[in-house]
Chain A
Amino acid sequence: MNERVQLEVPATSLDDSHDEDELLRAVEEHGVGFKVTFTLLGMVILFCWAIFGRQLLRGLGVTGLNQPVSWGFYIVNFVFFIGISHAGTLISAILRLTQAEWRRPITRMAEIITVVVLAIGGLHPVLDLGRPDRMLNIFTSGRLQSPLLWDVCSISAYFMASTVYLFLPMIPDIALLRDRGARPHWFYAFLSWGWQGTPRQHAVLERAIAILMILVIPIAISVHTVISYIFAMTLQPGWHSTIFGPYFVVGAIFSGIAALMVVMIVLRRVFHLERFLKPIHFDHLAKLLLVMSLLWFYFTFCEYITAFFGNEPSEMRVFFYKFSGGFAPYFWGMVACNFLIPVVLLAFRRFRTIPGILFASIAVVIGMWLERLNIVIPSLANPRLPYPTGFYVPSLVEWAIFIGAFASFILGYAIFSRFFPLISVWEIKEGKKHSLAATSERVRGYLPDPLPQKVIGGESS
């Protein structure tokens, strides 16, 4: 064969321990930043809960909900937050499955988003209930034929699967913290499950992660499909569409990647992770976001042109309400945020810088929230029977829960970063040690095989 390319094996122990120190600094050094963040966010959340107390005391009448618009912010935010949870699955599971090496610093942050956001999103339907004190009726007299029950099942399954999927790859890092003497010691000893880094333990862990990463993908797809069925299984114009299942999944992955990038950019600055989260990571994710934006636009286009061409009166009433009626600012705002801004910013390398990516991602997060709003409100405001068009003005309580939900998300993340490393230390180490060799082996497998020896011997003689 010809000359072999010299592989650069990075310096191991010195670099590794420096990596460890850097990545574990937030856990081991108890700075004032966390306490300040915790106190501030805690106060915001408590305040929002206090405002929600009005709803618990007086009933749902304190919201802006009415007839016909009997679902509003709570359901919009429910769908929105569960949608963002797809960040974890896509990045973690699919990138692990495809053995994409650039996933290593990203997977943990993505998995944390999923778990925190599922807890927040899963709480929203309970906040929306007229009688939350009767919530246990779902357990005693639930009907499995109702899409809401399918939802309860699939979100619980996803929550369990993603918590396990977050926990298992964290075990070696927890053991590392335990061995480095992080406080409280019993906490890390308890969670590390006796990890000592032996080859047999590694084999067990790798196999478990492999099983889970395959299991978690269909569960995640089912979650948002089932959420879409809550709408699609009714007979309302604008909702009763077969495209809803895939549309919601695409939208969820789209919003998930955008939220992940916002989180990554913010944490990169706050925790000084510039060495680990490099522009190339954002570049790859930005291209993925661009693809999802185009895909989202394709689905949206299909949905609306089908309604428009059919020209059915009830559908057209909803259609024109969104296109040119009272809801037009929110509809076109959604298109701008989800399609125009991301495509312009992410398609051209000149704009695909970290500030540009941050702006595009924030636009997508806002745009996808507007998309949920566009799905829930217009169909309810324009009933089939010729009643006047409804309206919906969210009240203080709903805004309070909205703000509280975001604050809870940030707080959940802050608490996590206080106790666990945000970037997977052992996977980075594994990447440094084995990935270069493993990847070049893999690439060698793709390239044409060398000629058989007999032919070479025959020709040269």
Chain B
Amino acid sequence: MARWGMVIDLDRCTGCAACMAACHQENNIATAGPEEARDASRVFQWMRMLKEVSGEGADVRVRFMPQPCFNCDNPPCVRVCPVHATYLSPDGIVGQVYGRCIGCRYCMVACPYGAKVFNWLDPEWPGDLKRRANPDVSLRPRGVVEKCTFCHHRIIRAREAARLSGRELEDGDVTTACAESCPAKAIVFGDLAEAGSRVSRLARGPRAFRLHDDLGTEPKVIYLAEKK
């Protein structure tokens, strides 16, 4: 059984946010609009960019850390959902059942990484973006929680294509929108359970670390620390 995971090399990341734009396009993410985002603090992003500014004056350094949902192997959000609208699938993706979610937002509150987003109002897509939506990803209604799904729809398509060709999924067959769009190739996606895959080799490297894994959440997004 596959165990999908991601490695993000912080040394390569330039903070260009192409991953965020690609994610928005791929997953039909609605736009919050300037008032909602700024005044109401309701930014609508599945891939968030954590920005850390350190130092002052000429020594100021800004570091960027793209954060999708970490799809933890011990997810605190799944444990608290009262209606089984979020669940851990056998291949390691924390799924969200939009049709069952009652919008209690307990999973949002329980996630220590703040990875989940809520549809506070009816989702809106400016212009004719809605008509050009990705048909593989369902449009979410108002009042439900959503989050990064490791582009699960791409995994399903790739698996179907592989089965049609009579073979199993191989490393490199499927990648997420963010990994595909990153110009610096900082994001690598793949099967952590397959020892030879690129992502598991990188995840075992010396620079690898996970955010707050002292909490026991077992996140499956591994960061590679910047080289000094």
Residues of A within 8 A of B (CB): 58-61, 64-71, 125, 128-132, 134-135, 137-138, 141-143, 145-149, 152, 230, 233-236, 380, 383-387, 390-391
Contact = CB atoms under 8 A, between A and B. Distances in A.
Contacts of A60: 103, 118, 120-121, 143
Given A59-B122, A67-B43, A384-B212, A138 B105 contact: no
Contacts of B50: 385-387
Nearest to B110: A234
A61 B36 contact: yes
23 contacts: A58-B122, A59-B142, A60-B143, A61-B120, A61-B121, A66-B42, A66-B120, A67-B43, A70-B118, A71-B105, A128-B105, A130-B119, A130-B145, A131-B101, A131-B141, A131-B144, A134-B103, A142-B82, A142-B84, A146-B81, A233-B79, A235-B217, A385-B211
Contacts of B101: 130-131, 134
A384 B113 contact: yes
Contacts of A147: 80
Contacts of A131: 101-103, 141, 143-144
Contacts of A236: 109-110, 112
Contact of A384 (B105, B106, B112): B112
Nearest to A66: B41
Contacts of B62: none
A161 B19 CA distance: 55
B82 A58 contact: no
Interface in B160-218: 211-212, 215, 217
A235 B113 CA distance: 10
A60 B105 CA distance: 11
B122 A130 contact: no
A19 B67 CA distance: 71
Contacts of B117: 67
B100 interface: yes
Contact of B42 (A61, A71, A129, A146): A61
A423 to B, nearest CB: 40
A146 B82 contact: yes
Contact of A67 (B42, B112, B113): B42
Given A130-B101, A131-B144, A138-B83, A235 B112 contact: yes
Interface of B is mostly: loop
Interface of A is mostly: loop
Contacts of B118: 60, 67, 70, 130
Contacts of A383: 112, 114
Contacts of A138: 82-83, 102
B107 to A, nearest CB: 10
Given A146-B81, A385-B211, A134 B102 contact: yes
B41 A146 contact: no
Interface string B29-58: 000000010001111000000101000000
A390 B109 CA distance: 13
Interface in B72-99: 76, 79-85
Nearest to B52: A386
B110 A235 contact: yes
A84 B105 CA distance: 25
- Tell which of A58, A125, A137 has the most Cβ of chain B within 10 Å: A137
Given A59-B142, A235-B215, A68 B104 contact: no
A13 to B, nearest CB: 57
Given A59-B121, A138-B82, A145-B79, 6 more contacts: A60-B120, A68-B114, A128-B105, A130-B102, A130-B103, A385-B67
B108 interface: yes
A384 B106 CA distance: 16
A131 B122 CA distance: 12
Given A143-B81, A148-B82, A70 B105 contact: yes
A351 to B, nearest CB: 41
A58 B123 CA distance: 11
A447 B46 CA distance: 74
B42 A141 contact: no
Contacts of A390: 41
